[in-house]
Amino acid sequence: MKSMYNFLTSKALIASVVISFTIASCQETSVENQSSAPSAPTGSVLRVSGESEFVEGELLIQFKEGASAAAKQKAFDKVKGQPVEKILTKAMERAGRKEGLALVKVNKNVLEAVAELNGAEGVEFAEPNYLYQHTAMSTDTYFTNGSLWGMYGPSTSPASPYGSNAAAAWAAGNTGSATVYVGVIDEGIQLTHQDLAGQVWVNPADPTDGIDNDGNGLVDDTNGWDFANKDGSIYDGGTKGTLDDHGTHVSGTIGGKANGQGVVGVNWDIKLISAKFLGRRGGTTADAVKAVDYLTSLKNRGINIVASNNSWGGGGYSQALFDAIARANNAGIMFIAAAGNSGTNNDVTASYPSNYNLPNVIAVAAIDKNGALASFSQYGATTVDIGAPGVAINSTTAYNTYSSYNGTSMATPHVTGAVALYASTHPGASVAQIRNAILSSAVPTASLAGKTVTGGRLDVNAALSK
């Protein structure tokens, strides 16, 4: 069984950027592409246990259903707290929640406040507002044709014995479907990139007109939503402190279109929905919950979202985030997550969100073109499920460019892409069916034996026959 995990970011990154939720999947040689919105928390950040970080002076409180106003006020007074936001998403309401989460400013030590509130009258749980960020690192600013080893297989042309074997699926006529949707919980996406134009969802219920036409509380969520900046612009290109390189890179691996130029993704036809929550300084638990629930609400509205890609991590165990991912599971949305880039054992030191023990979570390690477990990749015989290409991965980046990145962030979208491709050939497949197809078809790999649940690496083509 998976133990609860806590996503650890690259130590080099932590030393140079003091924020939390890390787009943990890539190991970056520089940190110029760190993203987080200017509206991200500006307070100082505290280190919890190990690498876990959170916003100082903020916490999340989940009150019990039916908690009285007096009990709530007593809780606020106990920690000298001032509620600043009530987070009650459509997905929470559909799940029977009425209280929602309270984001509270506190005038005392956060960990002390959490300890005082847990077990208090009317309080279901209290926790820090953890921070997350990506750790992708560019290793080559030039894209070279024929360098997409992660898409090749042992019998394809070009060939790579340790690639994902997506090319074999394409040769059999399986290239994806525009009726399959994937959420990208990350930075934003350059939706006008030559390899992504037309691949990003357009919300038919909420055109850009300054009106919340679909009544979900988000005005003009035309291609998704930017929870970091609280607006409908999913691509900022540096104008708000984030380049959106990382979100664009994972998107290209999932769904770069076949157009005779640049790169191509696992799915040539697909629709990507941006649930941006990482900005220049990272992202918070509060915004991560909103992003996950946003996709769940769209699925409940009838949009065929089969998975979300989560190439990020940081913070400690969050009940609020666990609950949001569980709601996604109940809606039939897979949650594919990066194992992390600290080279540590997730069985011993939990890494989130990849360690959450839920049926829809698949945790992904990174391998290189020789089949070796990447030196930076985290692993875990009971907590990390499968390996996938994550070293020298070329894909789309902002300003119509291409870059080569390393990281479990890069391995993760290969698996997310495989999930989407499977859904295109198996319409209506359940979370259990998709999970079984991806994991049961893993190719035994020496470097992953005893290091992952399957002991193997992704085989996109083999998964389609399950």
- Do residues 200 and 222 make contact, with C-beta atoms less than 8 angstroms apart? no
* Single-letter residue type at 429: A
Catalytic residues: 186, 246, 409
pLDDT exceeds cutoff 50 at 19? no
Helices and strands (H, E) in the chain, number of each type? 11, 19
pLDDT exceeds cutoff 80 at 426? yes
Task: Write down how long the chain is.
Answer: 466
pLDDT digits (tens, 9 = 90+) for 279-298: 888 899 999 999 999 999 99
Q: What angle do CA 447, 5, 164 make, to 5 degrees?
A: 35
- Burial grade of 92 (CB within 10 A; 0-12, 13-18, 19 or more): buried
pLDDT digits (tens, 9 = 90+) for 187-242: 999 999 999 999 999 999 999 999 999 999 999 999 999 999 999 999 998 776 66
Strands (E), 281-424: 283-284, 305-310, 334-338, 361-367, 386-389, 393-397, 401-406
Higher pLDDT, 12 or 41: 41
User: Which residues are registered as beta bridge partners of 397?
Assistant: 401
Higher pLDDT, 193 or 147: 193
pLDDT exceeds cutoff 90 at 21? no
Question: Rounded to the nearest 10 degrees, how much is the dihedral formed by the CA atoms of 168, 332, 189, 215?
Answer: 150
Residues contacting residue 432 through CB under 8 Å, at least 6 positions apart: 359
Return the pLDDT at 6.
26
Helix (H) or strand (E) segment spanning residue 86: strand 81-87
pLDDT digits (tens, 9 = 90+) for 53-79: 899 999 999 999 999 999 999 999 999
Return the pLDDT at 453.
98
- Residue 58 to residues 10, 29, 44, 337, 342: CA-CA distances in angstroms? 24, 32, 11, 26, 27
Among residues 188, 232, 227, 193, which one has the least CA distance to residue 212? 232
Higher pLDDT, 238 or 155: 155
Return the pLDDT at 27.
41
| Overall average pLDDT of the 183-187 stretch | 97
pLDDT digits (tens, 9 = 90+) for 397-425: 999 999 999 999 999 999 999 999 999 99
pLDDT exceeds cutoff 60 at 35? no
β-pairing, 176-186 with 305-310? Answer: parallel
β-pairing, 101-106 with 81-87? Answer: antiparallel
Return the pLDDT at 327.
98
> What percentage of the chain carries pLDDT values higher than 70?
86
User: Which residues are registered as beta bridge partners of 445?
Assistant: none
pLDDT exceeds cutoff 60 at 116? yes
d(CA 210, CA 224): 15
Residue with tokens 């509206």: 39
pTM above 0.85, yes or no: yes
* Single-letter residue type at 341: N
Give the single-character DSSP code of 383: T
Cis geometry, peptide bond prior to residue 207 (ω within 30 degrees of 0): no
d(CA 339, CA 7): 7
Return mean pLDDT, the chain: 87
